[in-house]
Structure 1
Amino acid sequence: MSNSKGSLPPRSNGPQGGRGQQNRTAPQTKTKKKKVKKRSFFARLTRMLLMLVLIGVLAGLGYAGYLYYKFEKGGFGTDQAVDSGQLASAKPLTMLLLGTDNRPKHPSNLTDVIMVAALNPDTKSATVVSLPRDTYVELSGYKKNKINAYYARFKSKEDTSGISAEDEMKTMMGKYLDVDIDYVTVLDFQGFRDIVDELGGVDVNISADMCYTDSVDGTDINLKKGPAQLNGDDALDYVRYRKSNCSPKTEGSDDFDRNKRQNEVLNALVGQMQSLGGVLKIGNVMDAVGNNLETDIENEQIKSMIATYWKISKENIAFVPVTGTWRSPYVYINDTELENARQSLQATLAGSAAASETP
């Protein structure tokens, strides 16, 4: 568990149902800037950081020795003991990954990011299912709502229900996707910026100009079409961009376009982290991760994950984004894709052939 945050409640034992944009070919001038590192609980969260943490925790990205040492010293998980038969090396595991749009000027527990990952130690494979934040959910025992509203609702009822919002989400998402969920991780937005900056930026190919400003939360997106190397701020703008309020307006995008850009950035960052340069920087990268997350995964379990999955390849991690049809204010999920996502998770847990990414 990060030293900058409070621990999540113990796991329940019940059933779980253009600012820094640079053109690649242009000469770059390095300017030293004073780095201000926010560690506030009220930082925004992002899907990209969730995925990076998942892979960082599982794979170790070529630097397992450092990570093992780090968790021997305390790590960022909980201090609870784990039975040997429940370790990642002994059985498949599932994790719920959440990201909330919680900002200093806009406090919120709405989960803009909802993903579930399944991991299998025998096949050394993982499947990560992601759902649009506006997904319409109609589930027995729960009020009909957008999927991103449930965590906030559970948070508001913690004092009266006596059940943590995190455990409530594990139960609900387990029921929705028809898998038992073992762990939950909630990640802080600032860590994404830190990871990109620690790796020296990320290379992308911007498909169209992007421009959007918001004086309330300080957003100032100004990205130009073409190959570019983005710093942490601009990489975040790139994966978040949805619409334009500039004059002239730039082309907008929907949640599905954002998912594609997020996967593009993720793959680029994973490649950089697995390179020699990335390996040499892994200590700082993992510190950035640890300073910006909360989880109920035990440190002993995290060490087991590292030992079990540190050689996992990108090809053995299947990302399965579920899409649907937008009819304001909801996304109505494609039933075939949702069933494919459920089967993909179950297949990974059962040790069947790894699922392929949904087109």
Structure 2
Amino acid sequence: MLVGKGGKRGGKRSIWTGVPRWAQVCTIFGIVLMMFSGTTLVGAEALMSRYEGAVGKGDLFGDQAAGAARKSDIKGPVNILLVGIDPRDDTTPPLADSIMVLHVPAEMDRAYLFSMPRDLYVEIPAFEKANWNGGRGRLNGAMSHGSIVPGGNPDPARGFELLATTVQQITGIKRFDGGAIINFTGFRKIVDAMGGVTMNIEREVRSEHREPNGKHRKGNPNGPGYIGPQATYPKGEQHLSGWQALDYVRQRYPKNGVPDGDYGRQRHQQQFVKAMANQALSADVVTNPIKLDRVLRAAGESLIFNGRGNTIADFAFALKDIRPDSINMVKLPGENIGTGSAYQGERLVPEAQDFFRSVQNGTVDAFLLEHPDFRNKDK
């Protein structure tokens, strides 16, 4: 249902025509943020075609049957919703473990990546397709409520549709130009295909879930949590394998070395996005056709994508001027609603609404100059 072949370009002139020597494109979808370069014009075209065909397709916005409005040329501003899930099985409604918005202003030469707190306590609108009558709840639950298929297995694409509507309601973004669901377990394959990823670890972090050898820690027979040795990520520059990178960006408890909880995890996930982009653009990957092909196929197998009528190649060409160092990472500060057993979730500080208005008005740079605390650390 969610897998299909990449769309044809319908006679449109190839994006590679007239591009001299090296054809450089950037495909910025989700936590993957896959950026790559073709080694030759022919090789790049073949790799793009293979990548396009490997990516799963889904009706993420509920407009596929009616025919999504395709732009002949993608122009800014562009907003893309990126959702990471960690599905346990085909019968359990998925929660949105990571919710990011990639905002590209009208100039199309830079981007802003901001995370929506998954515990944000919001109004989730009614969604007739899933028999959801609407109500208050945590943002990540919108994915779960929307994915319900009466009499059938959950549909993540349908869950994405309700989540997208909810995020639009919060941010004031009228329409997303594209979206992707990223399977977190696929990251391990992508990172391993690249030969690992180098990250700057802010402070020592100890894993809640994994032993030093990568095995799952054993459950505590005397109560909640886990027991046994913990994988440790020392402070400083570290080269991580796939399972290590995925484990590191999942940590969120102060007792494990992440003092700011889920906000720390959001920051680490954004840092991981940029680290993957840098690694994908490294000479070790882009000059090795075999490794590049493995990376692209692993990325394709980890994604469900919808460009609302535009293909991945269309977006790759439109966003070709955005490089890792022109991606600005944004934090949306918030605070708890309730404590302990009375905890309901998170709410954003009032200034977050000013940030959302700056996204709508194309004034994000000015906003960040006045609110430097909204900037997340790159490293």
Give the TM-score of the pair, scaled to structure 2.
0.67
Are residues 1:295 and 2:305 paired? yes
Q: Deviations over 1:200-235 (max 9, x none)?
A: 222334412404244479998511423332111111
- Return closer, same or farther for 1:144/1:157 CA change in 2, 3 Å cut-off: farther
More displaced, 100-109 or 194-203?
100-109
Contact 1:98 1:114 in 2 (8 A): yes
Quick one: which of 261, 278, 281 aligns to 1:274? 281
More displaced, 109-118 or 323-332?
323-332
Are residues 1:330 and 2:340 paired? no
What amino acid sits opposite 1:294 in the alignment?
I
> Which residue does 1:187 correspond to in 2?
182
Gaps spanning 5+ residues in structure 2: where?
6-27, 59-63, 127-133, 210-216, 220-224, 338-342
- Return closer, same or farther for 1:137/1:224 CA change in 2, 3 Å cut-off: same
Q: How far off its partner does 1:139 sit?
A: 6.0
CA distance in 1, matches of 2:172, 2:274: 28
Are residues 1:6 and 2:21 paired? no
Contact 2:119 2:138 in 1 (8 A): yes
> Which residue does 1:154 correspond to in 2?
146
CA distance in 2, matches of 1:123, 1:91: 6
Instruction: Give 3-state SS (helix, strand or coil) of 2:311's partner.
Output: helix
Contact 1:125 1:354 in 2 (8 A): no
What amino acid sits opposite 1:186 in the alignment?
I
Are residues 1:339 and 2:354 paired? yes
Contact 2:204 2:233 in 1 (8 A): yes
Q: Report % sequence identity.
A: 22
Q: How far off its partner does 1:155 sit?
A: 1.2
> Which residue does 1:21 correspond to in 2?
none
Instruction: Give 3-state SS (helix, strand or coil) of 2:299's partner.
Output: helix
- Return closer, same or farther for 1:235/1:77 CA change in 2, 3 Å cut-off: closer
What amino acid sits opposite 2:333 in the alignment?
T
CA distance in 2, matches of 1:67, 1:292: 21
Instruction: Give 3-state SS (helix, strand or coil) of 1:212's partner.
Output: coil
> Which residue does 2:162 correspond to in 1?
168
CA distance in 2, matches of 1:336, 1:209: 31
Contact 1:100 1:108 in 2 (8 A): no
- Return closer, same or farther for 1:229/1:218 CA change in 2, 3 Å cut-off: farther
- Return closer, same or farther for 1:71/1:276 CA change in 2, 3 Å cut-off: closer
Gaps spanning 5+ residues in structure 1: where?
9-48
Instruction: Give 3-state SS (helix, strand or coil) of 2:135's partner.
Output: coil
- Return closer, same or farther for 1:319/1:155 CA change in 2, 3 Å cut-off: same
Are residues 1:223 and 2:232 paired? yes
Higher relative contact order (CA 8 A, sep 6+): 1
What amino acid sits opposite 1:330 in the alignment?
G
Instruction: Give 3-state SS (helix, strand or coil) of 1:134's partner.
Output: coil
CA distance in 1, matches of 2:159, 2:205: 39
- Return closer, same or farther for 1:169/1:63 CA change in 2, 3 Å cut-off: same
- Return closer, same or farther for 1:192/1:240 CA change in 2, 3 Å cut-off: same
What amino acid sits opposite 1:95 in the alignment?
I
Residues 63-212 of structure 1 mapped to structure 2, 5 A cutoff:
63=38, 68-72=45-49, 74-75=52-53, 76=55, 78=57, 86-90=71-75, 92-104=77-89, 107-120=92-105, 122-138=107-123, 142-156=134-148, 164-179=158-173, 180-206=175-201, 207-212=203-208
CA distance in 2, matches of 1:268, 1:62: 16
Contact 2:30 2:181 in 1 (8 A): no
Instruction: Give 3-state SS (helix, strand or coil) of 1:164's partner.
Output: helix
Q: Deviations over 1:304-344 (max 9, x none)?
A: 1112222312343222231211242411211212431x134
Q: How far off its partner does 1:71 sit?
A: 4.4
CA distance in 2, matches of 1:97, 1:235: 19
- Return closer, same or farther for 1:257/1:278 CA change in 2, 3 Å cut-off: same
- Return closer, same or farther for 1:138/1:172 CA change in 2, 3 Å cut-off: closer
Q: How far off its partner does 1:110 sit?
A: 0.9
What amino acid sits opposite 1:225 in the alignment?
P
Contact 1:111 1:151 in 2 (8 A): yes
Q: How far off its partner does 1:278 sit?
A: 2.6
- Return closer, same or farther for 1:354/1:267 CA change in 2, 3 Å cut-off: farther
Give the TM-score of the pair, scaled to structure 1.
0.70
CA distance in 2, matches of 1:234, 1:265: 12
Instruction: Give 3-state SS (helix, strand or coil) of 2:186's partner.
Output: helix
Q: How far off its partner does 1:52 sit?
A: 4.0
More displaced, 283-292 or 87-96?
87-96
Contact 1:139 1:176 in 2 (8 A): no
Contact 1:94 1:182 in 2 (8 A): yes
Contact 1:50 1:97 in 2 (8 A): yes
Contact 1:111 1:148 in 2 (8 A): yes
Contact 1:136 1:333 in 2 (8 A): no
What amino acid sits opposite 2:348 in the alignment?
I
> Which residue does 2:9 correspond to in 1?
none
Quick one: which of 246, 253, 257 aligns to 1:236? 246
Report how many aligned residue pairs link the two structures: 304
> Which residue does 1:284 correspond to in 2?
294
CA distance in 1, matches of 2:354, 2:125: 17
Q: Deviations over 1:59-109 (max 9, x none)?
A: x4333955543444553265988776x145345432221122312499441
Q: How far off its partner does 1:298 sit?
A: 6.2
- Return closer, same or farther for 1:181/1:122 CA change in 2, 3 Å cut-off: same
